Amino acid sequence: MDLQLTEEQSLVQRTARDAAERLLAPHAARRDVTGEFPVSELRALADLGLLGVAVPEELGGAGAGTIAYSLAMQELARADASVAVTVSVSNMVAELIAANGTPQQISHWVPRLVSGELVCGAFALSEPQAGSDPAALTTRAEKTDRGWRLSGTKQWITSGDRAGVLVVWAMTDPRAGHKGISAFLVPGGSPGLTVSRIEEKMGLHGSSTAQLVLDGVEVGEDAMLSGPGRGFALAMMALDGGRIGIASQALGIARGALEAAVRYASERTQFDVPIIRHQAIGNMLADAATWLDAGTLLTLRAADLKQRHQPYSQAASMAKLFSSEKAGLICDIALQVHGGYGYTRDFPIERACRDVRVTRIYEGTSEIQRIVIARNLLRAQ
């Protein structure tokens, strides 16, 4: 892997950093309190190409690749993790349709997603009893004269109440197990699609997380993505790529927290010297900086493999596992360095500690990542 960024990758990184500082950071604390959904911010980011970083240019995306996408997610999460996760999921949906849709599906949905016309997309896979085991989903798709009728409940759906289009996974052939799962493109606001609950979460308050009920939602034959029985494979492929996005999000949150801790430790004096000169504090910050660099390298390696169309599942799991676990420790160190001030809302550290925690859960828990890595080690024997 070439560790030197290309001019295009550097441009995307600078664009995302400027947008994060100018558009996101000034209102991040307010969004955390009010739970306001960032519609205007998302459309502004779309104008900058950040809702389709790796989507081909001919579809309205930036066509900058997965490395640029990871760098952009890190910059956005550094300022506001709530906006970053919404952007990450929308990028996932746009990429999934662009890579697997029919020409009609691609032309109808992808340009509208990346332009911000649809505000965002949603990834409706998880269910109340099917989280880490997506093959256990119970949502059903029944064939009709005009297409398909979808019925079931989806849980933990990021932007599920706001998305202009949702990728919904449903069982089309229950006898076939995971090979009987198919994916459907469902317009937001479809008759029969209702938001039954908006979750009140520990963090990421500016990102909505919905429980959705599909009560006989009718879609046409042309709504199926990639053909019958292809849903499970599509989900696994999308989740592998999504783990790069969540690793990037975790790193961005951690970078913001570490930068704040270094600033604070350089200014705060105890015993007549800045506390960063005390070995106990300096050692903690040194560990945090080392973990952050290691996580960044793991994540960019996974992004590079994906961008070059090489196998990257294990690399993505390693990046997600390490980055999310260490990001939590980095945020905890940052709070400890701030002392009592870090425990208050006067400083951004307590928000970082709440926001970072979920990165060890969604897009596959840390435990699932270890299973994926171990299985790949076994296959290598």
* Widest pairwise Cα distance in the chain: 80
The alpha carbon of residue 252 and the mean position of all alpha carbons in its chain are separated, in whole angstroms, by 12
Please say if 363 is a catalytic residue: yes
- Residue 323's contacts (CB-CB under 8 Å, 6 or more residues apart) are 247, 248, 250, 251, 254, 295, 296, 298, 299, 359
Q: What whole-number distance in Å separates Cα of residue 331 and Cα of residue 354?
A: 9
CB atoms closer than 10 angstroms to residue 244: 32
Judge contact between 122 and 214, C-beta under 8 A. no
For residue 11, the one-letter residue type is L
Q: What whole-number distance in Å separates Cα of residue 200 and Cα of residue 306?
A: 34
Q: Which of 218, 267, 363, 367 is catalytic?
A: 363
- Residue 151's contacts (CB-CB under 8 Å, 6 or more residues apart) are 139, 140, 142, 214, 215, 216, 217
Which residues are the active-site residues?
363
